[in-house]
């Protein structure tokens, strides 16, 4: 499993996965508290199964964020993201921005949103369609799509595109939503930890960059 707390980061950024059964597979429970799980601009090519698979529960609490942004999955058999157990969020958010999936169904998850939790989506594509309505997102696997905050491709806000606690502002530049980091924010998503802060030993702990 994965346990991230106290401003930790688990991130896959600019990763290329080719001919993998599962590019990212987590067998145990995922527990995230005051931290971020980030998948940005990863290319999941010719995957035999799900691109990202969680085979137990996923829990996000205390201002945590799961951010999937700019990823591409061309698998023809399974969804981009799968969770076998419930994905619960309390005072936290899940954000899906500008992802592209070959199949019409992008995710297979069961969401449980408690106080202060949000699911935000913007400019995702599934099955050749740019999703823009609650009905389209429901068809793509986003359960209870009526409670999801849907933004268009020209929208830019820090809650959707960035890790909000580390972001001072967000603005559109040359057609790209750019996060301007505040104190304690690093990288393009303004996550709590920069890659230079991580030693090789940390790759086995709760702060991981790939």
In a domain, 135, yes or no: yes
In a domain, 165, yes or no: no
In a domain, 100, yes or no: yes
Instruction: Supply the range of the domain harboring residue 9.
Output: 2-154+201-209
Tens digits of residue pLDDT in 15-33: 766 655 656 888 899 999 9
Least confident of 11-25, 133-147, 164-178: 11-25
In a domain, 166, yes or no: no
Tell me whether residue 200 is exposed, middle or buried, using C-beta atoms within 10 angstroms of its C-beta: 0 to 12, 13 to 18, 19 or more: exposed
Q: How many domains does the chain have?
A: 1
In which residue are the tokens 């691109």 written?
51
Q: Tell me which residue of 13, 69, 22 sits closest to 50, measured CA to CA.
A: 22
Provide CB contacts within 8 A for 67, sequence distance 6+. 36, 37, 38, 39, 40, 94, 95, 97, 163, 189
In a domain, 167, yes or no: no
What single DSSP character describes residue 191? B
In a domain, 172, yes or no: no
Least confident of 23-37, 44-58, 189-203: 189-203
In a domain, 187, yes or no: no
- Average pLDDT on 89-100 reads 96
In a domain, 52, yes or no: yes
Q: Which two tokens stand for residue 59?
A: 């829990």
Tens digits of residue pLDDT in 68-88: 999 999 888 889 999 999 999
Provide CB contacts within 8 A for 142, sequence distance 6+. 106, 107, 119, 121, 148
pTM of the model: 0.88
């Amino acid at each position: 499993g994965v346990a991230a707390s106290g401003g930790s980061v688990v991130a896959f950024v600019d990763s290329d996965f080719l001919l993998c059964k599962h590019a990212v597979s987590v067998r145990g429970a995922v527990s995230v508290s005051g931290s971020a799980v980030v998948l940005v601009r990863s290319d999941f090519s010719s995957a035999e199964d799900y691109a990202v698979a969680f085979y137990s529960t996923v829990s996000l609490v205390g201002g945590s964020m799961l951010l999937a942004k700019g990823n591409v999955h061309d698998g023809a058999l399974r969804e981009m993201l799968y969770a076998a157990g419930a994905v619960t969020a309390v005072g936290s958010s899940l954000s899906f921005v500008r992802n592209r999936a070959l199949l019409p169904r992008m995710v297979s998850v069961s969401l449980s949103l408690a106080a202060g939790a949000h699911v935000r989506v913007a400019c995702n594509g599934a099955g050749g369609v740019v999703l823009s309505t609650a009905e389209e997102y429901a068809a793509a696997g986003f359960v209870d799509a009526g409670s999801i905050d849907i933004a268009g491709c020209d929208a830019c806000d820090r809650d959707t595109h960035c890790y909000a606690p580390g972001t001072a502002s967000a603005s559109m530049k040359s057609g790209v939503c750019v996060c301007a980091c505040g104190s304690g924010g690093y990288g393009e998503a303004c996550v709590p930890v920069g890659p230079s802060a991580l030693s090789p030993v940390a790759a086995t702990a709760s702060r991981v960059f790939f």
